[in-house]
Amino acid sequence: TFSRTMITFTTVFLVVLVLYIFGGETLRSFSFAMMIGIIFGTYSSLFIATPIILDTYGKQEERERLAAGENITATPGDAPKLRPTTV
């Protein structure tokens, strides 16, 4: 979920930022690379992976409806619905 991703991003980024500021020269370059990786990883989780998952679930539901013999004429307001998951 969005909130869990942002909380994880914030806590990890703050720890790596402290390493960057207070760490030595060796840790500084490593911490900088980690910060870049954390930013790109969070972006990927939020804006790239989410639409792919939504599209996958929508196609899965469409296949299930076709197998059941239902009429699947989509209306403009239709959107794929995700099933709740537990972690």
SS3 letters across the chain: CHHHHHHHHHHHHHHHHHHHHHCCHHHHHHHHHHHHHHHHHHHHHHHHHHHHHHHHHHHHHHHHHHHHCCCCCCCCCCCCCCCCCCC
pLDDT tens for 29-72 read 999 999 999 999 999 888 888 788 878 877 777 777 777 776 65
pLDDT tens for 71-81 read 656 565 666 66
- With 0.85 as the threshold, say if the pTM is over it: no
